[in-house]
Amino acid sequence: MKRITLTQFLVARQKEKNLINADLRLLIETIARACKGISTRVNKGALADGLGSAGSTNIQGEVQKKLDVLSNEILLEANEWGGNLAALASEEMDNPRPIPTHYPRGEYLLLFDPLDGSSNIDVNISVGTIFSILRCPKTESGAYGEPDERAFLQAGRNQVAAGFAVYGPTTVFVLTVGDGTHGFTLDRETFTFVLTHPQIRIPADTQEFAINMSNMRRWEPPVRRYIDECLAGAEGPRGKDFNMRWVASMVADVFRVLSRGGIFMYPRDARYPEGRLRLMYEAKPMAFIVEQAGGAATDGRTRILDLQPKTLHQRVAVVLGSKNEVDLVARYHQK
């Protein structure tokens, strides 16, 4: 059977379904090429001096790994000259970066977490890249100008595309442009992404949850209630046994949810009363991807795609995955 490449998939969305334009197609292809480069460096690990700390911290005060910095540079260099973007924003940078004046500007904004789960690099556990694409607001003159932080502060429902790459035993590129969620596996022989997971659907029910149990003593009562009921198993109020999984790389945990169902939770707690994950770089794109696969995503009180961002590096609670489980957690919060 003939294999469909990422480029063929995108061309079909452009010409046959009119879902994307040529600039958006080229932008997604550029991001995918950058992910291939990051995948190669991640796979080399210690052979390319890619392990360990970079000796710096990001705006959140987190210690940056060498591959955090390198992955950020790869994405910047790949995307700033193509004429598709007005500006970029990264979890690893304090402020948005406008496109240099000697390059043409386009109609889109790109946000990304260059290497999600980078604390796992040194122990050879899957990490990944997450991205979100928005349309850039125009100025009164009809131009895109030099977008500042305010241009990026759009609700998640405004995203025109989102995706992530997982650098594991295989490199998988997951994408949505608003017509479902699809997965592409990197063929190492041809160095192309090939459609291997078309129209991913998350089962509405599950018997698997992912959460950092070490934070249990700090959780809010609704989260504690939900997990207690899962742990009670078949003898408890849920009437079934649950398994727990926790990779501590959001890309790996979410890809597992996409592959076989489940619920992923990084809730508020006493240390992080607003939540721990970044709304713009992690929660919004993952919520778009999960909803397009038939799942749900909430901060416990509000649908994530309806949240209005206040700052570029805002943190938020995240509960996403199988719809019936996510809805149950939301109901416990309402009570």
Strands 108-116 and 85-90: parallel
Q: What is the pLDDT of residue 56?
A: 66
Low-confidence ranges of the chain (pLDDT < 50): none
Q: What is the pLDDT of residue 297?
A: 98
Q: What is the pLDDT of residue 66?
A: 85
Residues in the chain: 335
Q: What is the pLDDT of residue 100?
A: 85
pTM of the model: 0.95
Q: What is the pLDDT of residue 159?
A: 98
Q: What is the pLDDT of residue 59?
A: 62
Residue partners of 147: CB distance under 8 A and separation at least 6: 86, 87, 96, 98, 109, 136, 137
Q: What is the pLDDT of residue 252?
A: 97
